[in-house]
Amino acid sequence: MADQAPSLVVDQLGFAWPNGHSALNHCCLTIPRPGLWMLVGGNGSGKSTLLRLIAGLLTPARGRLQRPLKPALVFQNPDHQLLLPSCGSEIELALPDTVAAAERLSRVEQALNQVGLAGFRQRPIHSLSGGQKQRLAIAAALASEAQLLLLDEPTALLDETSQAEVLQLIRSLCDRQEQPITALWITHRLEELRWCDGAALMERGSIGPWRSGQSMEQQLAPLAGGKG
């Protein structure tokens, strides 16, 4: 593990919106290995913009991105990315074109099994709970063969039970023995920091060093007025 290449390197990244507002300023971030890594910071600090740059949805004005792993973005609201009527058709849409026709059904089932939705292939998406929809969005990312999941406050719209289910799912995917994933997770819920391998604070388009989730939670709790 000592000589393993980093999962992600962001080096001196800069980005400004067309109105001239600077979103990222000499932003640097290295994710050293697979695991669950969390970013915290106030609104407008650049967190969501950074995820979109890493995902390739935006182009940086300067700096360097080193992405050895295929990224996939999971939105806060799964309704914004689930496009098709059934769970199976949504997963099949995400499969790479190179997957042979004979393998596609088993790959769909495998993706659903990984997120605890076994037997849901023919289920209409509109019948799912919010937590199930978010797990389906994660399954689609896995089906696309992404190994770097970019999660933009994925539990913000979920009830407490579904929040825990999504956290446990991502934690298990990061900890599995074969092909563990790397997850970069944005959160405003300080209690979620207890689940991560490292947490960093983003302010004014720049990111501080990795720290333990517990120490970050203790630092920020007084500023949040005791809110999670």
Within a domain: residue 174?
Answer: no
Which 3 state secondary structure label does DSSP give 113? helix
Residue 39 has pLDDT above 80, yes or no: yes
pLDDT digits (tens, 9 = 90+) for 199-211: 999 999 999 999 9
Do 152 and 125 lie in one domain? The reply is no
Residue 225 has pLDDT above 80, yes or no: no
pLDDT digits (tens, 9 = 90+) for 109-124: 999 999 999 999 999 9
pLDDT of 177: 95
Q: Please state, in angstroms and rounded to a whole number, the distance separating the CA atoms of residues 39 and 37.
A: 7
Q: Please state, in angstroms and rounded to a whole number, the distance separating the CA atoms of residues 80 and 57.
A: 15
Q: Mean of the pLDDT values across residues 19-31?
A: 95
Do 228 and 152 lie in one domain? The reply is yes
Do 12 and 63 lie in one domain? The reply is yes
Residue 1 has pLDDT above 70, yes or no: no
Q: Mean of the pLDDT values across residues 22-45?
A: 96
Residue 135 has pLDDT above 60, yes or no: yes
Rounded alpha-carbon distances, angstroms, from residue 86 to 90, 126, 169: 6, 8, 21
Within a domain: residue 59?
Answer: yes
Do 3 and 50 lie in one domain? The reply is yes
pLDDT digits (tens, 9 = 90+) for 53-103: 999 999 999 999 999 999 999 999 999 999 999 999 999 999 999 999 999
Say which DSSP state 124 is in: B
pLDDT of 223: 76
CB distance 63 to 54 below 8 Å? no
Within a domain: residue 6?
Answer: yes
Do 142 and 202 lie in one domain? The reply is no
pLDDT of 144: 97
Domain hosting residue 100, numbered range: 78-146
Residue 228 has pLDDT above 70, yes or no: no
Do 43 and 154 lie in one domain? The reply is yes
Within a domain: residue 114?
Answer: yes
Do 95 and 63 lie in one domain? The reply is no
pLDDT digits (tens, 9 = 90+) for 181-198: 999 999 999 999 999 999
pLDDT of 226: 43
Residue 3 has pLDDT above 80, yes or no: no
Do 57 and 152 lie in one domain? The reply is yes
Q: How many domains does the chain have?
A: 2
Q: Mean of the pLDDT values across residues 145-162?
A: 96
CB distance 148 to 72 below 8 Å? yes
Residue 6 has pLDDT above 50, yes or no: yes
